Amino acid sequence: MNWLLFLATLGLQIATQQAHAHNTTYNNPIIPGWHSDPSCTFVSEWNNTFFCTTSSFLAFPGCPVFASTDLVHWDLISNALNHPAQLPQIQTSTNAQMLGIFASTLRYHDGKFYLLTAWLDTDNDGVQFVLFTTTNPYDEKSWTNAFHIQNPLSAIDPDLFWDDDGSVIMAFSGSPIKASYIDLTTGNASEPFDLWNGTGYNNQEGPHLYKKDGYYYLLIAEGGTELLHSSTIARSKSIKGPWESSPHNPLASARYTDRYFQTVGHADLFQDATGNWWGVALATRAGPELYNETIYPMGRETVLYPVSWPKGDWPRADQVMGEMSGPLPPKSSKKSSLSTFMGEADIVDFVPGSSIPKHWVFWRAPAKPESFTISPPGHPNTLRLTASRANLTGDASFKALDGLTLLARRQTNTLFDFSVDVHPGFYKAQGEEIGITAFLHQDHHIDLGIVFTGGSLESKGNLSFRCRATDSDATNSTLPSPVVTPVPSSWLSETIRLFIRAENSTHYQLSAAPATRPRESRLLAIFSGSLISGPDVFTGNLLGVYATTNGGNHTMEGYVSRWRYTPIAQQIDYDDFIQSPGV
């Protein structure tokens, strides 16, 4: 070998090694709990920061935006949909549960952040494409109102791609996947044209376009968002085709495997400051067996995997696992040592002057925001709930604008402890109920309520703990009967602490104690996580408080306090639990 060639080869080796010189291990999911359909982008102009968004359906605030400089510490920096005037339907429409904000695309172009998404509801025909933009994603109020982009085929999953000539291409779901040129000033979309058919699976959706080394690359999701889900890729010299499928497809998938992380698909790709490529996707922690038993209450979460994509060649991805290794950017020095994977704890005491934490959600934008008041006069360190007529399930006459008194956060850990204190004295009329819930949506929830059944309060049995599950997919034999337990008479005038705890990865324990004597805790019921998982449910478990008159039209107010969510452990493989520090 001559010296020049040797040096060139050595240089090449060093360059290649440099890109991968400092592999570190990290855990999936990088954003745990219900965070499906991730779309992420890297923005060097913003201090080499990665930004991601995930689907939010009827949860409000919606369109959460996360930022990270090291890919493992993710901060929720804003919710792009944060006040109802931006998209009034988030408050007024949709009695169907699995509609709302679907999968989005997040991109940065020429100083501006673009979040393009689909809005679906039952009160309007078809699907609307709506665009939110900002020049500062850290400033929540700076996100614009929804700007409508034409959706010629009533598709979902709009992408946003700027071509070299400045034209803007919006790919979207369809068989084959289609695209239109769009005008971002008028919202007009051109006659759609066909892109790629995929590799033969159903539900071609979630497209993202990229351009690299003279090719257009089209990444799509195929197979439906369950066990056959996948992410596949094709390329073409021209946007009009022909598209060539990657010989390495699927790029990412767990189908036909027994891996713990299933349903891997609906991906996005981005490149970091040193030129390494990364992929994100959604995945469900369960393994195929529990998946088939529909026990995956956290739903679809966001995972990260390294991608190698040599010049002119096809991308290859590492398979998604609970523990992975890759050339992560250096750890942000400002951050605590806990990665977002460990799940966020809540220690919330509703101190006067505080506001509702940014990561908590309502189900639709609240029709009456004053139903959730922190520390009203005379009641410091409490949250006052004004009950909704409808309970969490609602009834035939329930309308979105009636409002639902529910405030929740995501279950972000396989094992956790959640508790809230309920103050005495709210009960005046029959049916009144305040409680805590594990809530997937209005047709899937497990509630632990304190219910007043009328009569005199002092009489034993008139104030009860009621553990009740609602599961529209359950049959009479699989829906457990409500468990009703009288509140012990010695607790009647006390503040009562209600607990929901995942004691293992399949079951939830519901219990209660006098707040001042938590050791007197009583186990009231154990319910399966299958009640809050479902094959056609796209959300994941939320934990929260609710108040209802169960159909009564009168006003009822109650007070809760001391909201705690304590992460206990993350399961990352069949026999692998990572304990939270301090547990």
Residues noted as catalytic: 37, 205
| Residue with Cβ nearer ligand NAG (41 or 382) | 41
Q: CB of 466: closest distance to ligand NAG in angstroms? A: 8
| Residue with Cβ nearer ligand NAG (186 or 555) | 186
Side-chain-side CA neighbours of residue 438 (13 Å): 36
Which residues does 343 contact at the CB level (< 8 Å), separation at least 6? 32, 33, 412, 413, 416, 567, 570, 580
Using only C-alpha atoms, the chain has a radius of gyration, in whole angstroms, of 25
Q: CB of 564: closest distance to ligand NAG in angstroms? A: 22
Q: CB of 351: closest distance to ligand NAG in angstroms? A: 29
Q: CB of 561: closest distance to ligand NAG in angstroms? A: 24
Buried b (16+ CB within 10 A) or exposed e, 455-480: eeeeeeebbbbbbbbbbebbeeeeeb
Closest-approach residue to ligand NAG (CB): 455
Q: Do the beta carbons of residue 409 and residue 361 sit within 8 Å?
A: yes
Please give the residue ranges that form the binding site for ligand NAG (CB under 6 A): 20, 23, 46-47, 176, 186, 188, 194, 197, 288-289, 292, 306, 308, 318, 325-327, 391, 393, 395, 397, 453-456, 459-462, 468, 470, 475-476, 503-507, 526, 550-551, 553
Per residue, the 3-state secondary structure of 269-311, as one string, reads EEECCCCCEEEEEEEEECHHHHHHCCCCCCCEEEEEEEEECCC
| Residue with Cβ nearer ligand NAG (4 or 396) | 396
| Residue with Cβ nearer ligand NAG (101 or 537) | 537
Q: Do the beta carbons of residue 216 and residue 235 sit within 8 Å?
A: yes
For residue 145 the two structure tokens come to: 């109102």
Q: Do the beta carbons of residue 232 and residue 245 sit within 8 Å?
A: yes
Q: Provide the pairing of β-strand 277-285 with 261-271.
A: antiparallel
Instruction: Say if residue 401 is exposed, middle or buried (CB neighbours under 10 Å; 0-12, 13-18, 19+).
Output: exposed
Side-chain-side CA neighbours of residue 168 (13 Å): 19
| Residue with Cβ nearer ligand NAG (162 or 193) | 193
The alpha helices in 454-537, defined as continuous H runs, are none
371 phi/psi in degrees, rounded to 5:
-65, -10
Q: CB of 96: closest distance to ligand NAG in angstroms? A: 18
Which residues does 288 contact at the CB level (< 8 Å), separation at least 6? 227, 257, 258, 262
Q: CB of 6: closest distance to ligand NAG in angstroms? A: 21
Q: CB of 77: closest distance to ligand NAG in angstroms? A: 11
Residue with tokens 């991109």: 107
Residue with tokens 């290649």: 16
CA–CA gap between residue 188 and residue 149 (Å, rounded): 6
| Residue with Cβ nearer ligand NAG (224 or 327) | 327
Q: CB of 350: closest distance to ligand NAG in angstroms? A: 25
| Residue with Cβ nearer ligand NAG (20 or 212) | 20
Looking at residue 326, what DSSP letter applies? E
Closest CA to 155 of 97, 204, 190: 204
Largest Cα span, the chain: 98
Q: Provide the pairing of β-strand 193-194 with 205-212.
A: unpaired
Helix (H) / strand (E) element for 347: namely strand 346-348
Buried b (16+ CB within 10 A) or exposed e, 133-162: bbeebeebeebeebbebbbeeebbbbbbbb
Which residues does 255 contact at the CB level (< 8 Å), separation at least 6? 223, 227, 228, 229, 230
Q: CB of 156: closest distance to ligand NAG in angstroms? A: 19
Q: CB of 160: closest distance to ligand NAG in angstroms? A: 18
| Residue with Cβ nearer ligand NAG (83 or 112) | 112
| Residue with Cβ nearer ligand NAG (248 or 460) | 460
Q: CB of 583: closest distance to ligand NAG in angstroms? A: 18
| Residue with Cβ nearer ligand NAG (93 or 414) | 414
| Residue with Cβ nearer ligand NAG (80 or 525) | 525
Residue with tokens 């359906």: 57
